[in-house]
A = this chain, B = another copy of it.
Amino acid sequence: MIMGCDDGIKEGMTRRNIKLVLEYDGTAYRGWQRQGNLPTIQKILEESIARITQEPVILHGSGRTDAGVHALNQVANFRTSSRIPAANLLRGLNSLLPGDIVIRETEDVDEEFHSRYSAKSKSYLYRILNSPVRSPLQRNSAWFIRCCLDLEKMAGAISLLCGKHDFTSFCAAGSDVKSCVRTIIRAEIERETEQVITISVEADGFLRHMVRNIVGTLVEIGAGQDSSEIMRDILEAKDRGCAGITAPPQGLFLQKVSY
């Protein structure tokens, strides 16, 4: 079937480029990326698209989300020779997809559009439940922290991350990217309710586990004795061992991809 697909291109057949905007609850999945027969978001989506368009498909995501991480507006794109209008694709796909994945928008885009390479920035949201007791209703959508967190100190620390820096200290060990330099456009922390703290980070790109490593470090600063200034030393050390723990995946949401 892949052969047939390639042939289509060679013969100059018109191929559309479809952009999808997706929401998903990542709790039941091994993350975005296809891993053989394991349940992943990409696998479920590619199978559903292939069923509707009656041809094999490769779906490009704006980035991989880890197991247990959610998305409010993940963006992906695929090429197809199907003539089904975008609005009908949306309805058809949503009728096939399970309750924990939905397509919010479908759109025909320029053939140059690539959900990953065309992205100008991405925003992530991280939710912390800061409460004396864990919450059953938020167990899959927040990191439960029992001890008291100093929000002002965390705000001071996160502000030091804004701008263009080498984020090696916040990159997962074993990651093989060429450069760890990224630009954080916006980094904010706020108290959403009495017990829920949200951390938002927008950047031109993210390293593996970058948001979760920043959040883990912020929580250690908010709960500890060091001043917020320690964030500067951690950043400058360019050493993963100097930063804090990796925050768990269930508090993380891919919020927006901007083009």
Interface residue ranges, A against B (CB under 8 Å): 23-25, 70, 72, 94, 99-104, 133-137, 139, 141
Dominant SS among interface residues on chain A: mixed
Are A101's CB and B136's CB within 8 A? yes
Query: A101 to chain B: which residues have CB within 8 Å?
Result: 136
Are A102's CB and B23's CB within 8 A? no
Measured in the bound complex, the distance between the Cα atoms of B19 and A197 in whole Å is 30
Are B136's CB and A23's CB within 8 A? yes
Instruction: State which of B24, B100, B104, B139 has its C-beta within 8 Å of the C-beta of A133.
Output: B104
Measured in the bound complex, the distance between the Cα atoms of B133 and A141 in whole Å is 20
Measured in the bound complex, the distance between the Cα atoms of B104 and A72 in whole Å is 30
Q: Smallest CB–CB gap between A138 and chain B, Å?
A: 9
Are B94's CB and A136's CB within 8 A? no
**A94-B133, A94-B134 as given contacts; A100 in contact with B25, CB under 8 Å:** no
Q: Smallest CB–CB gap between A130 and chain B, Å?
A: 15
Are B25's CB and A139's CB within 8 A? yes
Q: Which of A24, A133, A139 has the most CB of B within 10 A?
A: A133
Instruction: State which of B23, B133, B137 has its C-beta within 8 Å of the C-beta of A70.
Output: B137
Are B23's CB and A137's CB within 8 A? yes
Are A139's CB and B99's CB within 8 A? yes
